[in-house]
Structure 1
């Protein structure tokens, strides 16, 4: 699918899609290359320098990965999975009451609002770069009065692309009568990403210890 949403119609019963911010992926790769070069230079400098600053470089790259690569939005037949920095939310389709993009992709449910870290809204000047084809053929729930849309709903933005997929799935299921609130087991499940939390904590302790203890 391109940034304008011009692909085949997705099928809510079989298809799934995971979206990550484009800028974030580039940033992680670039920073990873810099961290690798830094580690190599430390190795050439000497084992002491590598022991003292190596863990700090690895910690910095891992934090950048946590912030800009790991967060994502997965749209699947079972619902929407919003993975943020340290928590993950599993939202079933019947639990979604409204989809918004004012500040980022937001899923409104009876239990609260889920905001996607990986799908932020664009800047206020984004409308100046909008091509008219981007405003056509979007899900009906995208449009406000007089068929207008906000910059945050434009498919070339992170929030707009995620909302496009979510709304397409949601509208297909709604029109098929599958969003009955009485369906058993609907709701939101939230859990902490314990593996990431433990890893970053251990790296932080090791990096601090290396800075303090290695001469």
Structure 2
């Protein structure tokens, strides 16, 4: 089967809003400088840093599944989880993948708040009592945690039925985790350059 990916719709909308606001602020700074108002062009540096931070913190994080592993791309690190090491999938606070001795939260898939959960539960024909007693709000369709969890569970079950996952090997699996150096460099450089631009000008 081909790989499938999940990204947070809410986070990407928030990222676009952030880009629009920073672009508007940058245009205002440039316009005020052109007409001779006392404005510091150095303000463009932190605005650019905010736009870059929105990209690495809101746009990039996500989750990908294929027949070999689950790849969790969080803000500061990316983790590859072999299917035979997965032992549980939970959505209490956010989609969280469990392996022996490890838990890997998926920051792009937070569980919904209570208001969102009840609104979506009504769409599915569930009452407040049903929501509390039958399943986690984080499993609801239309939520980031629920949609991402369904992507993982569906592929997991499909691979089990096909005999592609060897039972009893969870303790043998080695997770691959590596830092997102580009994100770390981007955020660090943004802070350093912003402070330098505002202090030194």
The 1:195–1:129 alpha-carbon spacing in structure 2 relative to 1, beyond 3 Å, is: closer
Which of 60, 78, 81 aligns to 1:91? It is 81
**Runs of 5+ unmatched residues, structure 1:** 1-13, 135-145
- How far apart in 2 are the matches of 1:173 and 1:102? 25
Cα distance in 2 between the residues matched to 1:133 and 1:114: 32
Partner Cα distance (1:177, 1:133) in 2: 35
Tell me how far apart the structure 2 counterparts of residues 128 and 23 of structure 1 sit (CA, whole Å). 16
The structure in which a higher percent of residues are helix is: 2
1:72 to 54, 58, 62: 62
- Find 2:118's aligned residue among 113, 127, 131: 127
Give the secondary-structure state (helix, strand or coil) at the position aligned to 1:105.
strand
Deviation at 1:49?
Answer: 4.1
Matched, 1:29 2:16: yes
Please, what TM-score do these two structures have when normalized by structure 1? 0.79
Structure 2 CA distance for partners of 1:50 and 1:37, relative to 1, 3 Å: farther
SS at 1:46's partner residue? Answer: helix
**Structure 2 portions without partners, runs of 5+:** 127-132
Tell me by how many angstroms 1:15 deviates: 2.1
Instruction: Look up the match of 1:137.
Output: none
Q: State the number of aligned residues.
A: 188
Q: For residues 172 and 104 of structure 1, what CA distance do their matches in structure 2 show?
A: 23
Task: List structure 1 runs of 4+ shifted beyond 6 angstroms.
Answer: none
- Distance between the aligned counterparts of 2:157 and 2:125, measured in 1? 21
Q: Which moved more, 1:89-98 or 1:186-195?
A: 186-195
How well do the aligned residues superpose, as a CA RMSD in angstroms?
A: 2.2
TM-score (normalised: structure 2): 0.85
